[in-house]
Structure 1
Amino acid sequence: MNLLDPAGLDCLAALAEAGSFERAAQLLSITQSAVSQRLRSLETEVGHLLVVRSRPLQLTEPGKVLLRYARQLQGLRADAARELGASLQREERLPIAVNADSLATWVLPALDPLVHQGQRQGFSLELVVDDQDFTHDRLRQGEVLGCVTTVAQALRGCGCQALGAMRYVAVASPLFLSRQVSQGLHAGNFSQVPFIVFNRKDDMQAQWVSRAFGVRQPRLRERFVPSSEAGARAAVMGWGIAVLPELLAQPLIQREELAPVRPEVWIDVALYWHHWRLGGADDACPSTPGADAPSPSLLDQLGQALAQGAHAALRQPEARAAG
């Protein structure tokens, strides 16, 4: 296959991001007819239909393969511009997927220096939020260049780095506990007590109940609140029991707005950073003596920033004593 047209790949990425030809044209500052023409040219070049013209648009499987390539090309272009001190015609977006709980606690402080750097160097971060067990799918499908996930196995062509473990604890407002479970939460009453759940992908509450009471596949009274911060606030307001990141719950416990429920029971969730390898320092061959060290790619820098933030915020494995 010949070298793919970068303009056509940019159109494909814009269509995947925008979901329509009209919005993709706005992103690229070209006409809709130009978007259609570039897409048709790319489809002719590769011999596959890449986009299903539905509402919203859907990428075909070949389209998802090329989307991964398009995202990596955008990352390489941003790296080249940064190293050359050049300005890009259009600000490049670096999409990464993170789980809502990490976003609500440690990710923003970790990425803050890079965000300000990006404002000066012509790239911007795009944070895509999904459940921590599903962010990896977005990487596989080419929607993002990196992700924070619970998956430990790296995809082919990707790097993987352990970040640490996020601890989850059960909490509720003191008033709720005194009224709803005055005798304590136990195996005989948990099914009648409401639990605050992020969304239908979220099984953290069920995992906690299973661990606390030895019940397989427990059925819970669920109240859905699709936000980490709002879920914590709902718990403070007495909506039910919430299984929250300890990082989010601890300040509320200290202010006595929330109280621990069965504090001897917790869940530690290991998190990992995955990213496509774009030819930065991670992929370089060992340098020869006296040679300049390769400049880390933007994704490498993202990984370093996330690793530093995670090391400060998340639980790290205890170092083994020297033998």
Structure 2
Amino acid sequence: MKDLDPAGLDCLAALADERGFERAAQRLAITQSAVSQRLRSLEAQVGQLLVVRSRPLRLTEAGKVLLRFARQLQALRTDVARELGAQVAPNERIAIAVNADSLATWVLPALDPVVQAGLKDGFGLELVVDDQDFTHDWLRQGEVLGCVSTVKQALRGCLVRPLGVMRYVAVASPAFMAKVLPEGLNGGNFSTTPFLVFNRKDDSQAQWVSKAFGVRAPRLQERYVPSSEAYVRAVCSGWGVGVAPELQVRPLIASGALVALRPELSVDVALYWHQWKLVSELSGAPARVALLDQIGQALAAGASAALES
């Protein structure tokens, strides 16, 4: 198989992003009919259906394979445009997946030099947020070109590098401790104590309780707050016990706004950076470091400064 239509691949990527023909057409500044025609042409080239025309639209397994290629092709075009000093196409972007706690703490400072240096290039950056145990699925399905994940093993065609350990500690407000846990959190009252949980994928609270009290699969009274920043604010407001990144709550513990429960005990989460291998080089001269490589290097440097080794 060769000479896949770049316009068709762009349509596939837009459909994957927008989950519908109308919005994909708007993004590409073409008609819905043109989107459909280009998709049918690409499907004819590969001899397989690439999209399930449902609401919302979803990709077939073959579509996911081609989406990975489409993302890589877009990234290479971005790198070539930057090397030539040309403006990057406005609908092209580099998408990476990160977990919410990393985004709320060390990721933005780490990426800031790359973003600031690229302001004139006009490249698009998209940060997709999911639980660190699930960001790798976004990479495998071709939705992103890189991810911060707890997965150690690299996919075929990908690079992986360790970033460090994000340490989670249990905290509560002094008012909550005085009102609800005057004798402290213990094996006899943890099941009736409110715990704040990020979302239904988050099991750090159960992990902490298991380590603290030797209980397998503990049942907790849960209150869901699906935002890293709001989660910490809810803990400060006395909504319950939280298990949060030590990096995020360290100044609040130091100021007395929060109290660490069993400070010697933590849940340690090892993080890794995964990215697709891309080669961007113009004949006759070595290319600048590819944008995806720059992002990976910036994240590794930022993680080294912020996370535990």
TM-score (ref. length: structure 1): 0.93
Q: Secondary structure at the match of 2:119?
A: helix
| Contact 1:118-1:124 within 8 A present in 2 as well | no
| Contact 2:191-2:219 within 8 A present in 1 as well | yes
Query: Do the aligned partners of residues 167 and 280 (structure 1) sit closer, same or farther apart at CA in structure 2, a change above 3 Å counting?
Result: farther
Q: Separation in 2 of the partners of 1:154 and 1:89?
A: 30
Amino acid at match of 1:139: L
| Contact 1:175-1:238 within 8 A present in 2 as well | yes
| Counterpart for residue 193 of structure 1 | 193
Q: Secondary structure at the match of 1:106?
A: helix
Amino acid at match of 1:43: E
Q: RMSD of the alignment, in Å? A: 1.3
Amino acid at match of 1:215: V
Equivalent positions of 1:107-126 (< 5 A) are: 107-126=107-126
| Contact 1:16-1:58 within 8 A present in 2 as well | yes
| Counterpart for residue 55 of structure 1 | 55
Kindly provide the CA deviation profile for residues 130-183 of structure 1, in whole angstroms up to 9, marking residues without a partner as x: 000000000000000000001111000000011111110000000101111111
| Counterpart for residue 104 of structure 1 | 104
| Counterpart for residue 308 of structure 2 | 315
Q: Separation in 1 of the partners of 2:138 and 2:78?
A: 21
Kindly provide the CA deviation profile for residues 253-308 of structure 1, in whole angstroms up to 9, marking residues without a partner as x: 12221111111111111111000001159xxxxxxxxx976532111100110011
Amino acid at match of 1:19: R
Amino acid at match of 1:193: T
Q: Separation in 1 of the partners of 2:107 and 2:167?
A: 15
Q: Separation in 2 of the partners of 1:91 and 1:116?
A: 19
Amino acid at match of 1:296: V
From 303, 309, 314, the counterpart of 2:296: 303
TM-score (ref. length: structure 2): 0.97
Amino acid at match of 2:296: G
Query: Do the aligned partners of residues 89 and 147 (structure 1) sit closer, same or farther apart at CA in structure 2, a change above 3 Å counting?
Result: closer
| Contact 1:92-1:122 within 8 A present in 2 as well | no
| Contact 1:115-1:124 within 8 A present in 2 as well | no
Equivalent positions of 1:85-164 (< 5 A) are: 85-164=85-164
Q: Secondary structure at the match of 2:64?
A: helix
Query: Do the aligned partners of residues 111 and 117 (structure 1) sit closer, same or farther apart at CA in structure 2, a change above 3 Å counting?
Result: same
Kindly provide the CA deviation profile for residues 90-116 of structure 1, in whole angstroms up to 9, marking residues without a partner as x: 342100000000000000011012112
Q: Separation in 1 of the partners of 2:253 and 2:223?
A: 21
Q: Separation in 2 of the partners of 1:91 and 1:51?
A: 20
Amino acid at match of 1:312: A
Q: Separation in 1 of the partners of 2:92 and 2:287?
A: 22
Structure 2 unmatched ranges of 5 or more = none
Amino acid at match of 1:123: F
| Counterpart for residue 71 of structure 1 | 71
Q: Separation in 1 of the partners of 2:89 and 2:245?
A: 41
Q: Separation in 2 of the partners of 1:77 and 1:89?
A: 9
| Contact 1:280-1:300 within 8 A present in 2 as well | no
Q: Separation in 2 of the partners of 1:185 and 1:293?
A: 60
Percent of pairs identical after alignment?
Answer: 69
Structure 1 unmatched ranges of 5 or more = 282-290, 317-323
